[in-house]
Amino acid sequence: MKLPESHAAETWQVDVYDGLRRRQACQYGAQTRTAGPGTTSVELACVLRTVRAWSEPWANDPLPGTYYVRLTALKLSADDLGQPVDAELRVESKDMGGAAAVDGSLSEPLVPGIASRPEEESDDSSSAVLAGLEPEDGWTSGWWSDRWIWTAAGGALAALAGVFGYRLTRGPGRPRQVPPGA
- % residues pLDDT > 90 (the chain): 12
The DSSP call for residue 65 is B
Whether the per-residue pLDDT at 139 is higher than 70: the answer is no
Q: What is the mean pLDDT of residues 126-133?
A: 48
What is the rounded CA–CA span in Å between residue 115 and residue 54?
19
pLDDT at 98 over 60: no
**CA 155, chain centre distance (Å):** 32
pLDDT for 117 equals 47
Strands 10-17 and 32-35: what pairing?
antiparallel
Q: Count how many Cα atoms sit within 13 Å of the Cα of residue 65 in the half-sphere of its side chain.
A: 21
**Model confidence pLDDT, tens digit, residues 140-174:** 556 666 778 889 999 999 999 999 999 888 866 66
On average, the pLDDT of the chain sits at 75
pLDDT of residue 128: 47
Tell me how far apart the alpha carbons of residues 158 and 165 are, in angstroms, rounded to a whole number: 10
pLDDT band (50, 70, 90) for residue 50? confident
CB 2 within 8 A of CB 40: yes
Q: How many Å is the maximal CA-CA distance in the chain?
A: 103
Residue 39 has pLDDT above 70, yes or no: yes
Q: Which residues contact 23 (CB under 8 A, 6 or more apart)?
A: 15, 16, 17
pTM of the predicted model over 0.85:
no
d(C-alpha 109, C-alpha 44), whole Å: 27
